[in-house]
Amino acid sequence: MDKSELQITRGNGKDILLQGFHWNLVKTKKTGTMDNREISWYKVLTDKAKEISELGFTILYLPPPWIDESHWEGNGKHGGGEGYFWHDFDLNSNYGTKTELIELVDALHKVNVKVIIDIVLNHRDKNKMKSDLWAYPGPHWRAGGKENGGAFLDGSCDLRIEHEEVYSRFKIALNELLDDCKIDGWRWDFVWGYHPKDVMSLIKDTAKEEYFSVGEYWQSASISDDPMFLRYGGSEKSRIIGWANDSGCAVFDMILKKELNTGNPANFKYGINCSSNIEERKMSVTLVDNHDTGASPYSVANGWGQKVWECPAEFKSHAYAFILSMPGTPCIYWPDFFDWGLTEIADLVKARKKAGIVSGSEWIDLTDKYSGFAAIVKNELNEEALAISIYSNFTPDLSIWKLEVSKEGWSVWLKK
């Protein structure tokens, strides 16, 4: 990939993301946690704009914005309507109207919070769709022939992004979000099934310069025509880093996510965010859970949500202490703070900002000297600024370090 073509969209290194939704908010049959209420989810977020800013979050990440009337049922559960099987570029979604989206972004911008939005480029499900913008099967779909991005799942309902009409229509839709709604960037959903050059081109071809974009490359199994396998081989870490390099975007650190799920803090240093390469640290967006991996507040439609790769509940506090103390750009999952009361997240955000930790911060590994995980993290001036211990016998020199935040099993200190 010609690096001169890339527009790097990784923020300023000081960002802290808040994922502003979960899986059970809305459903096609109106049985989500927000359905049948007098106000929309966009309005709820608008009313919380000041609080979101005061908590220290700098970017709010929103769900897919387009109309979705998909539906599925099975095993006593049902769903659809969450935005991931959208069928038209109509911005009046189950989360609120286009006007409400504009008002939400304006409210957040007034309190210095930027907004990115979840973009689903690649997949549909013909068995769940009520209709679609493009007739299926047909030339707009992978079913009509191979595409350059490889298959999403079985590939049966992949859009062909390289098709001139599909690409052009996406470009118009992204420009509408940038120009009319003042969106600041993108969260690219499940970035296999389309090529990083599609992302690179869409960012380059939109009129406004995006501030922050992050991709979700989450694919450990070998897919014969996945361009990341063809280019970077069998190492999942190499493919994730390669996707970020080829697109110019940040990327979710699924290598760290895997280690967080084990609850073994000694292995946390193997995440991309702890790389010796500063550019790799800067590209890493760290997470504990999201709407797919973790639980969502209970709904009659779908119980506790997706829960496909959940961080153990008893270890979540430790995991947040790690991602908010270490390099990378942390992303906080809405329910963990707003629904389930992990209030230490707010204290950890304040500690990170007070210490001046940034996405590319250098850090000193103490794991060979102590049990569990222990480290000293430097600020953007390359000064030792924060010390962290997770299930470790490490304690810094208290004559120069002050305990800032602590819970059972972990502690964070700042330099006096």
Tell whether the model's pLDDT for residue 215 goes beyond 60: yes
Give 145's pLDDT tier (boundaries 50, 70, 90). low
Q: What is the pLDDT of residue 373?
A: 98
Do the domain assignments include residue 282? no
- Minimal CA–CA distance to 63: which of 50, 78, 45? 45
Tell me, letter by letter, the H, E, C secondary structure of 55-74.
CCCCEEEECCCCCCCCCEEE
Q: Output phi, psi for 386, to 5 deg.
A: -145, 140
Average pLDDT over residues 170-182: 98
Give 3's pLDDT tier (boundaries 50, 70, 90). very low
Of 145-159, 271-285, 352-366, least confident by mean pLDDT is 145-159
Question: Rounded to the nearest 5 degrees, what angle is found at the Cα of 306, between the Cα atoms of 102 and 94?
Answer: 25
Q: How crowded is residue 207: how many other Cβ atoms within 10 Å of its Cβ?
A: 9
- Pairing status of strand 373-378 against strand 363-365: antiparallel
Task: Tell me 397's DSSP state.
Answer: -
- Minimal CA–CA distance to 125: which of 193, 172, 177? 193
Do the domain assignments include residue 318? no
- Pairing status of strand 329-333 against strand 373-378: unpaired
Residue 315, CA distances (Å) to 159, 235, 295 in order = 39, 27, 14
Q: What is the pLDDT of residue 144?
A: 67
Do the domain assignments include residue 224? yes
Indicate the average pLDDT of the chain: 94
Produce one character per residue of 49-77: b if its CB has 16 or more CB atoms within 10 Å, e if not: beebbebbbbbbbbbbbbbbbbbeeeeee
Do the domain assignments include residue 326? no
Number of structural domains, the chain?
Answer: 1
Do the domain assignments include residue 191? yes
- Is the CB of residue 192 less than 8 Å from the CB of residue 198? no
Active-site residue among 35, 189, 226, 289? 189
Tell whether the model's pLDDT for residue 114 goes beyond 90: yes
Active site residue 189: yes
Average pLDDT over residues 17-21: 98
Tell whether the model's pLDDT for residue 222 goes beyond 70: no
Give 157's pLDDT tier (boundaries 50, 70, 90). confident
Helix 236-247 vs helix 196-205: angle between axes, to the nearest 10 degrees? 20
Q: Tell me the residue range of the domain where 143 lies.
A: 3-252
How many CA atoms, within 13 angstroms, populate the side-chain half-sphere of residue 333? 26
- Minimal CA–CA distance to 63: which of 222, 189, 244? 189
Active site residue 347: no
User: Which CATH number does the domain housing residue 29 bear?
Assistant: 3.20.20.80
pTM here is 0.97
Average pLDDT over residues 219-246: 86
Q: What is the pLDDT of residue 2?
A: 47
pLDDT in tens, 32-60: 999 999 999 999 999 999 999 999 999 99
Do the domain assignments include residue 39? yes
Do the domain assignments include residue 225? yes
How many CA atoms, within 13 angstroms, populate the side-chain half-sphere of residue 271? 35
Q: What is the pLDDT of residue 125?
A: 83
End-to-end CA distance of the chain: 46
Active-site residue among 35, 82, 158, 216? 216
Do the domain assignments include residue 162? yes
